[in-house]
Structure 1
Amino acid sequence: MILFPAIDLKEGQCVRLKLGEMSQATVYNADPAAQAKAFEEQGFEWLHVVDLDGAFAGTSVNGAAVEAILAATKNPVQLGGGIRTIEQIEAWLDKGLARVILGTVAVRDPDLVRGACRRFPGRIAVGIDARGGYVAVEGWAEISELSAAELAKRFEGAGVAAIIYTDIDRDGVLTGINWEATIDLAEAVDIPVIASGGLASIADIVRMTMPDAAKLEGAISGRALYDGRVDPAEALRILREAQS
């Protein structure tokens, strides 16, 4: 069970959004690379990075910040936001990313995702961001007619390394992860699922250790870590002890 600290990038800075609204961004660190190194020193073993500007623009915007992060940490990094072609995927993997997260393109061009999984086995994740149970695309600006489960099932057997499931209605508001919807999704597919959106306290960390959450790969934490609501040492200790 992995706890992924999140770095969301907007205009080269480390921010957190509220309910996915770009107008409601709080800057937490002007130096994302330093933040990445700090997470590594706190004991985290993975890093989740999102290029928020890129998600809206449809192409990487905060590339320099991502490259600085890759240079600053030895931890594997997964990146999403604006990556929509095989060429972009290959370029980022060549720069040292462990995993690329495909979101909008998973709805628009599922064959591209399947092809990427064949070409880069184990290194392609799908980001499913849902509002009211339906998949949002284009940086959460548009709601599709697809349910999260319908989209996930399209990629069964394709070789997707993980699904990052975000409940937008809970993102950045510290109300707790939507465990019911996340676990339901994990039970609907064989692909590992990572919970995202709303992790609020140590109670969510403890919830990660419950038997029905065992099939999840982990969960992502952003604002709760930055605000000090989740102590990294305590959270990582709880997860280690649960696995021992």
Structure 2
Amino acid sequence: MILYPAIDLKDGQAVRLVHGDMDRSTVFNDDPAAQARSFVEAGCEWLHLVDLNGAFAGTPVNAAPVEAILKACKVPAQLGGGIRDMATIEGWLDKGLARVILGTVAVENPDLVREAAKAFPGQVAVGIDARGGRVATKGWATETDVMVTDLAKSFEDAGVAAIIYTDIMRDGAMGGPNIEATADLARAVSIPVIASGGVSSLDDLIALKQTGVIEGAISGRALYDGALDLKAALSALAP
């Protein structure tokens, strides 16, 4: 199972939110590229980046720090937030991003997801963020009537590289991930599922791995707070 250290970008800084609330942000590093380098030096194989401002604006806002991270680090990185058209997808992949994460458009324009996944095999993931099993969009500000499993299943034949499933009420709260819901989703689809939201301890990671069906996990606040030691986590997750 792959551990993805998270770097959430707001106003050019690396921050963490609680329950996706932009007004409840904590700045952990004003140099996101330096933060990324520290994760890579600890041995991570991937980086997970989120343009928080972009998620609300619907267009990239934190392009400069993302580009700085891509230049500073040689491990692959995936990015979500504000990626809602083909030109933006192409632009990011041309700049060296390994994978784009499409969230809001997966609900509003699923044909774009299919088109992008066909054009860029292995480089398009779907981000499914949910409260109570229902998908939320636009930086988690808008709740829909779409059910998580239904949305995931609709992309079974699209060639999507991964589904990143976030339980919003667990995110940034250090209360542990929703293992049951994530595992249920992973069993319901053939697309690899990555867990996000609430991953806050080594025990959480081991429990996710022991499901046998979850491909990866994203952790942010726990790595910044020191509740989760990255080197120890990577060692525990090694094959």
Equivalent residue, structure 1, for 2:227: 229
Deviations 1:150-182 (A, max 9, x none): 110110011000000000000000010100000
Q: What aligned pairs does 1:1-244 form with structure 2 within 5 A after superposition? A: 1-210=1-210, 212=211, 214-240=212-238, 243=239
Aligned-partner residue type, residue 227 of structure 1 = D
CA distance in 2, matches of 1:62, 1:206: 33
| TM-score, normalization by structure 2 | 0.99
For the aligned residue pairs, the C-alpha RMSD in angstroms reads: 0.6
Deviations 1:185-213 (A, max 9, x none): 00110000000000111111221331x2x
CA distance in 2, matches of 1:16, 1:114: 31
CA distance in 2, matches of 1:15, 1:52: 9
CA distance in 2, matches of 1:49, 1:106: 18
Cα displacement (A) at 1:233: 1.5
Secondary structure (helix, strand or coil) at the match of 1:6 reads strand
CA distance in 2, matches of 1:158, 1:233: 35
Cα displacement (A) at 1:216: 1.5
Deviations 1:87-126 (A, max 9, x none): 1000000000000000000000001100001100110000
Cα displacement (A) at 1:215: 2.2
The answer for unaligned runs of 5 or more in structure 2 is none
Aligned-partner residue type, residue 217 of structure 2 = A
Identity of aligned residues (%): 65
- Aligned residue pairs total 239
Secondary structure (helix, strand or coil) at the match of 2:75 reads coil
Deviations 1:119-150 (A, max 9, x none): 00110000000011100001000000001101
The answer for unaligned runs of 5 or more in structure 1 is none
Runs of 4+ in 1 over 4 A off after TM superposition: none
